[in-house]
Amino acid sequence: MGMDMRLKGWSSGLLGVLIFSGTLPATRVAVATFDPIFFTLARAVIAGVLAALILLALRQPRPARSDSRALLVVALGVVVGFPLLLALALRHVSAAHATVFVGLLPMATVMFGVLHGDKNPRGLFWLFSLSGSLVVAGFAMGQGIGVSLFDDLLMLVAVIVCGLGYAEGARLARRMGGWQVICWALVLALPLMLPLCLWTLPGNLQQAAWPAWLGLGYVSLFSMLIGFFFWYRGLALGGIAPISQLQLLQPFFGLGLAAVLLGEHVSAMMVTSALAVALCVVGARRFAS
């Protein structure tokens, strides 16, 4: 793989992670008002309608029938499974608690990539990847988190289905293109999500506060659609193993954005943990192939 291709992959993957970094806080704000099931359906419907309009406007051909199963896996993983399980868990746990499990997502993505035919990275890659996950988990635990067996199980399943959706989408993106993959996955889920969304529509929707609407808008437009344009492109160009490790930086990007936009405190522990994770990401990249 050429240096220019790898650089494009890393740039796209990093931009995708930056966009995803607002997902947890936006979801937490939104599910304080909206029912988690309605919230999950609504974000998929909004993104699905936008995706259908994009595909129509750009006159994209339908995917090959042989790609239908893989698109279904992507839809079940990143359109339905992960958002629903995350929303259900965030009703009772903090974003810091959820971050412990999100730190496992890069390893889950690589494992599914290897199971689906990608080259198994070298041993030192797994060492750096595991070290990065442990740093993220340690940092999150240092923020003070409670323990809930049921919610932990929800988050663990969410990580598994999301890792599968990421790996399957990355493989498809090599043939179809990153934005086409997520658009077709959203459209594939739309016939199911739209009637369910209308069925679960709350009667007091007009009374929802504006922060909840902003949270729903963010995850619908950015987390569910635009972020995947860059994320799947990055995974396809740069490789599943090295690019997936960029997600270890996501919690720190989120906290950094909160510091810039909301004036929240940046602790020495956060800076130290972020630097340690960055070193792990660089090490994983070095030994990914």
Question: What's the pLDDT score for residue 230?
Answer: 94
Q: Binning pLDDT at 50, 70 and 90, where does residue 93 land?
A: low
pTM (two decimals): 0.83
Please state the rounded mean pLDDT for residues 50-79. Answer: 92
Residue with tokens 């080259």: 119
Question: What's the pLDDT score for residue 264?
Answer: 56
Question: What's the pLDDT score for residue 214?
Answer: 92
- Count CA atoms closer than 13 A to 137's CA, side-chain side: 11
Question: What's the pLDDT score for residue 189?
Answer: 93
Instruction: Report the chain's mean pLDDT, rounded to a whole number.
Output: 83
What is the per-residue burial (b if ≥16 Cβ within 10 Å, else e) of 201-210?
Answer: eeeeeeeeee
Question: What's the pLDDT score for residue 58?
Answer: 94
**Pair 72, 189: CB distance under 8 Å:** no
